[in-house]
Amino acid sequence: MYAQSLLPIWTEDEAGPYQTLPYHGSHWNPAGHPIRYPHEYVRNGTAKQLTLFHPASGAVRVKGVRNAQNVILHPWLQEELTAILATLPEPELLPAEENRRCWTRWQEGLTVRITLPQELPPLRMLLVWDNLTGHHTPAFILWLFAHGIMPLFTPLSGSWLNMCESVQRILKHRALDGAHPKTPEQIIAWLEATARGWNREPTPFVWGGQRHTHSQRARERRHALGGSGGYTRQPLRRRRGA
């Protein structure tokens, strides 16, 4: 799905909560004098991160919040998605049946399917996110449909399929590693500043990437031995019958 080029794909996720405590990180220190972190800290609340990520370009949209309840998440998503749609070219108007097929093709193979409205606008974007209860709020799902956005849900036990989680880990480490925030507002400011820095030179994400390529090449160099789990680097000669 991430490799298709028919529609822009954005992924969404919420990260955190992040506490006001010392975060371990890498430091340059003289030998024998390791960095020492405070063993006491004040629990002064937590912060969370709302994230929209476009894997094809690497662009990320981030908002730091104290909580990610629907009353905060949904208005932010509506604002950001509306801004993204404004940058897209005008969609092609298709006959009603063909337009509906553009929507239903993304539900093929699903055991649980969302009921699509009778009348649908042109499909303009795919939104990948977790299968949380709040993400199934009828009013918000209908808003997505009305704006040409097809929501696709990843299972809770397989949420790693959402690339948004990957970029969130990168931003979290860059913003908080080696730091000791004293307030949630500091955490929010650092997370949002890190996202702005990331967007100056965003890194596109490729499904599979170099690790997948290296693993595929390694598998191609191995030759299995009778289903035992063992392998050889060179193929064994097959014994020919007389």
List the structure tokens of 171.
Answer: 């931003």
Compute φ and ψ for 68, nearest 5 degrees: -115, 40
Average pLDDT, the chain: 85
Task: State yes or no: cis peptide before 22, omega within 30 of 0.
Answer: no
Contacts of 38 (CB under 8 A, 6+ apart): 22, 180
Higher pLDDT, 18 or 210: 18
pLDDT of 32:
80
Q: Which two tokens stand for residue 186?
A: 């500091």
- By the 8 A CB rule, do 18 and 46 touch? yes
Tens digit of each residue's pLDDT (9 = 90 or more) over 84-143: 999 999 888 889 999 999 999 988 877 778 889 999 999 999 999 988 888 889 999 999
Question: How much of the chain, in percent, has pLDDT values that exceed 90?
Answer: 50
> Which amino acid would we find at residue 235?
P
Give the residue with greater pLDDT, 238 vs 101.
Answer: 101
What confidence tens digit (pLDDT) does each residue in 101-117 have? 999 998 887 777 888 99
Q: Work out the pLDDT band at 213, boundaries 50, 70, 90.
A: low
C-alpha to C-alpha distance for 13 and 169, rounded to whole angstroms:
11
- Rounded to 5 degrees, what are φ and ψ at 154? -95, 145
What are residue 52's DSSP bridge partners?
Answer: 12, 61
pLDDT bucket at 209, cuts 50 / 70 / 90: low
More confident residue, 166 or 64: 64
- Provide mean pLDDT across the span 60-72: 95
Cα 222 to Cα 239: distance, rounded to the nearest angstrom: 20
234 CA to centre of own chain: 39
Domains of the chain, CATH where assigned: 9-200 (3.30.420.10)
Most confident range, picked from 39-43, 152-156, 165-169, 212-216: 165-169
Written as one letter, the residue type at 119 is: E
- Contact between residue 29 and residue 36 where contact means Cβ atoms under 8 Å apart: no
Cα angle 94, 99, 101; round to 5: 140
**Structure tokens belonging to residue 36:** 């020492």
Residue 22: the pLDDT is 83
Mean pLDDT of 149-159: 78
Higher-pLDDT residue of 41 and 183 is: 183
Phi/psi-derived region of residue 45, left when phi > 0, alpha when psi is between -120 and 50, beta in every other case? left
8 Å CB contact between 223 and 81: no
Which of the residue ranges 182-186, 204-208, 235-239 has the most confident prediction, judged by mean pLDDT? 182-186
pLDDT of residue 78: 97
* Per-residue model confidence (pLDDT) at position 2: 58
DSSP, collapsed to helix, strand or coil, labels residue 69 as coil
